Amino acid sequence: MTRRILAPQWLFDGDDLLADMAVVVEDGTIAQVVPRPADIRPQPGIVAPGFVDLQVNGGAGLMVDASSDADALSRICAAHRALGCAGILPTLITDRPEVTARVLRAGIEAARRNVPGFLGLHLEGPHLDPRRAGAHDPALIRPMSDADLSQLVQAASRLPALMVTVAPEAATPAQVAAMSRAGIIVSLGHSDCSAAEAQAAFAAGARSATHLFNAMSQMGHRQPGLVGAVLAGDVHAGIIADGIHVDSTALAVALRARGTGLFLVSDCMAVAGSALSEFTLQGRRILRREGRLTLPDGTLAGADLRLDRALRTVVAAGASRARALAMATSIPANLIGAPLGRIAAGRPADLVWLDQDLTLRGTADDPDC
């Protein structure tokens, strides 16, 4: 049996930052969380659960796309584990029906293999509103059919988690309800819907919103839109906190309006964990310049973001360090029902070491940490 005691200056257990605590790890599992023994000096920094990222379009030079198989998903998961993620949802953006079917098969096979870090899949489209396509190909966006719904319900029964981003314009409340009953986490996004339409979808079972503020109807004083429905409601919402997708003032407003439910996503692309300066997305060049990813016309196309940078961004916008850490760990894990995001006896020891400023130093099993 391998045994290790981690005694950081601060321990984030999924809810609170705690001082003078230690974590006993045995064979990759948390055995105990105890007061730090007097004969062990605290090590600088913070030990926290590994990050949980529910919107990962790619990594290690690969996209989740028509070429994806279980091996490709495994490589993407491995790239993000090196960036501090205990688990991710590889994410397919709007594509052809046969590509969706292929990625679902790949995800089911990855689940069968117990690929480390694979928590399920996120399908961001194709059932969206072309008026809010963003970097998605409008020609591939379409309403949800009965066959689409049946495919999603069947896949959900064979995946650890399945998140599906839809627009109320392209998926009816009855379809949303059917997905929800099947255990699918329905998230609203890429939509120009009214607040009332969003609220009807939430009432039918949608539980989240995809990259709050981006590619959705904005909040006006007479037309609150999807943004208003999220800020006034109690659903979850992912947010891309890179200082580019969402202005710091809007981020501060969201943090103050929503006491709980906001969580961090990277929305990262193939460049994550690589030195690539550009890549191809559905035949279109994506450029990597000064921390942003764009189409040649300047349209944002995902993000060049690590979650530890997102932590620092939300702290700068007014979040406490504990809240920021929860937004990257326990909150997204709870949403999809993953056994991650908390430090407690019996949990996997998927942990990260962070500096005091929340910069990732490494994983807890890294001998240099």
pLDDT score of 182: 98
**Tokens standing for residue 23:** 């974590």
Phi-psi region of 134 (alpha: psi -120 to 50; beta: other; left: phi over 0): left
Residue 65 and residue 94: Cα distance in Å, rounded?
10
The angle that helices 248-257 and 307-316 make with each other, rounded to 10 degrees, is 80
User: How far is residue 182's CA from residue 291's CA, in Å, rounded to a whole number?
Assistant: 38
Structure confidence at residue 220 (pLDDT):
97
Q: How far apart are CA 143 and CA 128, in angstroms?
A: 7
Active site residues: 267
How much is the pLDDT for 259? 84
Output the average pLDDT for the chain: 95
Structure confidence at residue 244 as a pLDDT band (50, 70, 90):
very high
What does the pLDDT read at residue 96? 97
The yes-or-no verdict on residue 366 having pLDDT over 70 is no
Greater model confidence, 369 or 83? 83
Q: What is the pLDDT of residue 367?
A: 53
Whole-number Å distance between alpha carbons of 352 and 46: 8
Please give the Cα distance from 201 to 243 (Å, whole number).
Answer: 29
The CATH T-level fold of domain 51-336 is TIM Barrel (3.20.20)
- How high is the pLDDT of residue 369? 55
In the chain, list all ranges with CATH 2.30.40.10: 3-48+345-363
* Distance (Å) of CA 339 to CA 119, 150, 160, 186, 275: 10, 28, 11, 20, 32
pLDDT band per the 50, 70, 90 thresholds, residue 149: very high
Write down the pLDDT at residue 365. 65
- Residue ranges, comma separated, of all CATH 3.20.20.140 domains in the chain are 51-336
Is 283 a residue whose pLDDT tops 80?
yes
Measured CA to CA, the distance from residue 220 to residue 231 in angstroms comes to 12
pTM, two decimals, is: 0.95
Give residue-wise pLDDT tens across range 298-354.
888 888 999 999 999 999 999 999 999 999 999 999 999 999 999 999 999 999 999
CATH 2.60.120.10 for domain 3-48+345-363: no
Q: Is the pLDDT of residue 106 over 70?
A: yes
Give the H/E segment covering residue 246: none
Cα angle at 88 between 12 and 44, to 5 degrees?
A: 25
